[in-house]
Structure 1
Amino acid sequence: MSPTAGTPAGRDGVRTLTEAKALSALAHPLRARIMDALKVDGPSTASGLAARTGQAVGSASHHLKVLAEGGLVVEAPELAKDRRERWWRLADAGTRWSREEFAGDTAAVAAAQAAEALTLHRQIARVHAWMATAEEDPEWDSAAFATANWMRLTPDELREVADELVEVLVRWGRRPVPDDGLDREPVYVFARGFPAQP
């Protein structure tokens, strides 16, 4: 189990976070970018992450330390070429959390709300960035999609919809990349489902 409290990662490699420390670590834009870079590019050093995210190496190192204290990243010493080199990787394939799990811990609830707000802000910013450049590549422009649907569901049915969507995204995200010579770009897909009124 990772150093921070939480349920061990399930068969899907996704761990449920249950402490404010991990959630607080996630609720920071630079640390969120580091997590994204490790997810997309795989293990890296602090200098590699600094270059990828436009930070100073000292800043990347600091944020890696905070993520490690939250149990979100771990060292990967098997990748080091010498004893001075430190490599990092994600501790789990993914994380999830539910405010219901720590409703009695006000610090954890506040951290969860901050992490969710940051995630939503970053999702919206990514959509705006894509929309500003989509016309530059007509092939990607025609492949990109957005969808929204109204349904009448119970909470259990919404959970079922979420499980099915997540299963599809996880399956595509973890598939071995074919060695067929085609150029593949990182693609960001997100979906949300919640009760609302028109």
Structure 2
Amino acid sequence: MKIQETLHKNSCTLAAMTERGIREIHDSKVLAAMSHPLRRRLLDVLKVNGPSTVSALAEKTGQAVGNISHHLKMLAASELVEEAPELARDRRERWWRRTSDGFKWSVSDFRDDPVGEAAESLALEHQVAIARAWLANWQSYAPEWEEASFDSNAWAWLTPAELGEIKDQITALISGWANRELPDDGQEREPVFLFARGMPGKP
């Protein structure tokens, strides 16, 4: 299959995924399935690059094909990914895609469930790991990427409602950029990881 044809199929599938919206997770088994570090990375790769074959995912992550297949099946069992047979060139080739554009859950739904606490901790570790990777490799990027990257933080006196308002504003801002239709302007773009957190704390 030509690269152009693959990109076209991927773009069409990604458009369909965007329409599926955000999946709300209330089942701790689903949360546990997506919390595994490699599975979380597979979900990220499928989000950033679109549908992919098992062999391509193995090459991207440096894992054995059999290991990738195992974890994809675990994700599929929780309906986090699904096969995309229409993209296969033959019966041996297996393509996979995400079943939704994003995921969200509330800690309150898992207040007495250790899986919820573990998932939140692993999510934070995942975010920090990406930030650390940038700090370790920023010199491999063009200077303008260093100038554009940012770390913004502050202390503020807030009510729960005010913190919720900030959450809604930031979530809408990030979602708007993440789910926009990419402009056909010839500009070269890199995957950029955006995340923000706000919670009560003490200096």
Q: 1:34, CA displacement in angstroms?
A: 0.2
Alignment of 1:53-132 (within 5 A): 53-103=61-111, 106=112, 109-132=113-136
Per-residue displacement from partner, 1:72-119 (whole Å, max 9, x unpaired)?
A: 11122221222332211111111111121244xx5xx22222222122
Partner Cα separation in structure 1 for residue 147 and residue 107 of structure 2:
37
Aligned to 1:149, what secondary structure does the other structure show?
coil
C-alpha RMSD of the superposition: 1.8
1:43 maps to a residue whose letter is P
Per-residue displacement from partner, 1:11-43 (whole Å, max 9, x unpaired)?
A: 881111111211111121110110110010001
Partner Cα separation in structure 2 for residue 38 and residue 160 of structure 1:
31
Partner of 2:30: 22
Is 1:154 paired with 2:159?
yes
Paired residues of 1:75 and 1:88 also in contact (CA < 8 A): yes
Alignment of 1:154-173 (within 5 A): 154-173=159-178
Partner of 2:6: none
1:65 maps to a residue whose letter is K
Partner Cα separation in structure 1 for residue 109 and residue 97 of structure 2:
27
Given candidates 180, 183, 198, the residue that maps to 1:193 is 198
Specify which structure has the higher proportion of helix. 2
Partner Cα separation in structure 1 for residue 178 and residue 98 of structure 2:
15
Q: Where do 5+ consecutive residues of structure 1 fail to align? A: 1-10
Partner Cα separation in structure 1 for residue 185 and residue 62 of structure 2:
32
Partner Cα separation in structure 1 for residue 88 and residue 31 of structure 2:
29
Aligned to 1:15, what secondary structure does the other structure show?
strand
Q: 1:58, CA displacement in angstroms?
A: 0.5
Identity of aligned residues (%): 51
Partner Cα separation in structure 2 for residue 114 and residue 102 of structure 1:
10
1:91 maps to a residue whose letter is T
How many residue pairs were aligned?
A: 185
Aligned to 2:73, what secondary structure does the other structure show?
helix
Partner of 2:137: 133
Paired residues of 1:27 and 1:111 also in contact (CA < 8 A): no
TM-score by length of 1: 0.86
Partner Cα separation in structure 2 for residue 51 and residue 169 of structure 1:
29
Aligned to 2:196, what secondary structure does the other structure show?
coil
Aligned to 1:74, what secondary structure does the other structure show?
strand
Q: 1:187, CA displacement in angstroms?
A: 0.5
TM-score by length of 2: 0.84
